[in-house]
Amino acid sequence: MITRLYNTEEDPAYCSFIWGSNLSSTTDVLAAAGNSSPVFTDLRDDFYRDVEDPRTESLREYCYGLLLPIICAMGIIGNVLNLIVLTRRNMRGTAYIYMRAYSTAALLAIVFAIPFGIRMLVHKDRGQWEEFGPAFYTAHLELYLGNGCLGVGVMMLLVLTIERYVSVCHPGFARPVMGPPGVVVFLTCLATVIVYLPSIFRGELIKCILGSSDVYVYLRRDNTIYQQTIFYRIYKIMLEVIFKLVPTVLIGGLNMRIMMVYRRTCERRRQMVLSRSHGHGHGHSHAQGQAQGHAHTNGYVKDDDPRKFAEERRLFLLLGSTSILFLVCVSPMAILHMTIASEVYPSFPFQVFRASANLLELINYSLTFYIYCLFSEDFRNTLVRTIKWPWLKGKFCHQAEHETPRTTPGLPMAFFAKVDTRDRARHKHHITTTSALGRSSSI
């Protein structure tokens, strides 16, 4: 049915240029096309694609035949485990709704990258299909679906970062800041799908007919007439600004602000703990007070401060590393979208940059689970309880309920628990913060 609705262009000159006289409508058309200048007008910029560097084929095999399947496998496994963990009962709340939406979008984007890799490896850029369905998908839906899912992921990440920034830096604001999370997710997905709709028409299909039979072969090429319009040029810049430039700046800046606020909070917390411990020491007699005060202070610094420092260090590593990862992995794709054209396809350096940009963007959405496990203690604990790996608890997870508290003789633990509980309640709005890739870390 779709074959009848879709008007596939027949271009004998283009077909003859690629395969010769065995693909055409008639021999007369081929002869006329071969001896006249309109041939190259019909071919438009696709002429340059056939002058390919011999090293490009090896590049495709390594990038799309070897590296891309590994990255996709890691990404699919990681995002599936992400969704499993993020649906646990202790992972409720506004932030986790956005994180689940982010992981879902990342998973779909990686799935849609698989047929793209197969097409680049087997059919290259132009392709050659005997069935109309795969040809239509490649020409119109392949990049639209993949980029749409990536766009949803970026927007979910941005909304999540804004939500956590307000929660940490402006706790007096009403939350959720962006509105009901379910409505925000739905409207964001709908708006992204609509915004990416014009990209469906960036490619077109050419139908070639075998001279010896009535068998059709479909090829894909850029719709350069459409891509050279003022509308599409402005639209392409708008996409990169909305989905690449603005999110990169905002995510990096807001995460930097979160780190600064949390560092000041930790400093105030340490000063308060030390002042309380000194005050407790002075409340006793001079001899006993000095001994117990020093013991109490040393015990608290020994037992509490290293853990606070470790949490702070994990948070800074989480926010800093993922912000840099987002910048490094997303920026090349933005540059690629602004510079890609058929005239530069034969260039081997451009093909290297293109393959690197594609792989980097997939890496960005494939590492979510592994960075969660590396930096978030709550996430590791929930993962272990969900998967039920008892042999990993002692190695990778800090299980508070299994720990034996270390105490200084003569000092009751009730005092420590009381101070710690009051301090946590005072800083409740600092409990959860978010990394550049939507990761949540309990701090």
Do residues 286 and 158 share a domain?
no
Dist CA 382 CA 88 (whole Å): 8
The answer to whether residues 168 and 214 belong to one domain is yes
- Count each helix (H run) and each strand (E run) in the chain, helices first: 20, 5
Tokens of 413: 């633990």
Q: How confident is the model at residue 102 (pLDDT cuts 50, 70, 90)?
A: very high
Q: Number of folded domains in the chain?
A: 2
Confidence (pLDDT) at 443: 31
303 and 349 assigned to the same domain? yes
SS3 of residue 433 by DSSP: strand
Enclosing domain of residue 197 = 1-51+93-228
pTM of the model: 0.74
In this structure, the answer to whether residues 222 and 151 fall within a common structural domain is: yes
Question: Are 404 and 316 contained in the same domain?
Answer: yes
Tens of pLDDT, residues 25-52 = 434 434 444 444 333 344 444 444 456 7
Of 228, 263, 288, which closes a domain?
Answer: 228
Per-residue pLDDT, 152: 95
Show the DSSP H helices in 46-93 as ranges: 55-62, 68-86
Is residue 17 a part of any domain in this protein? yes
Give me the long-range contacts of 189-196 (CB less than 8 A, separation at least 24). 189/101, 189/152, 192/148, 192/151, 192/152, 192/155, 193/148, 195/151, 195/239, 195/242, 196/144, 196/147, 196/148, 196/151, 196/239
Do residue 156 and residue 166 come from a single domain?
A: yes
Give the amino acid at 10: E
Quick one: 78 exposed, middle or buried, by C-beta within 10 A (0-12, 13-18, 19+)? buried
Same domain for 133 and 98: yes
- On whether both 122 and 213 belong to a single domain, the answer is yes
Q: How far is CA 433 from CA 55, 169, 270, in A?
A: 46, 10, 20
Of 228, 263, 285, the domain-final residue: 228
**Residues 109-164: pLDDT tens digits?**
999 999 999 988 888 877 788 888 888 999 899 999 999 999 999 999 899 888 88
Do residue 103 and residue 249 come from a single domain? no
Same domain, 214 and 326: no
> Based on the domain organization, do 275 and 181 belong to the same domain?
no
**Residue 210 shares a structural domain with residue 243:** no
Whole-angstrom distance, CA of residue 88 vs CA of residue 50? 53
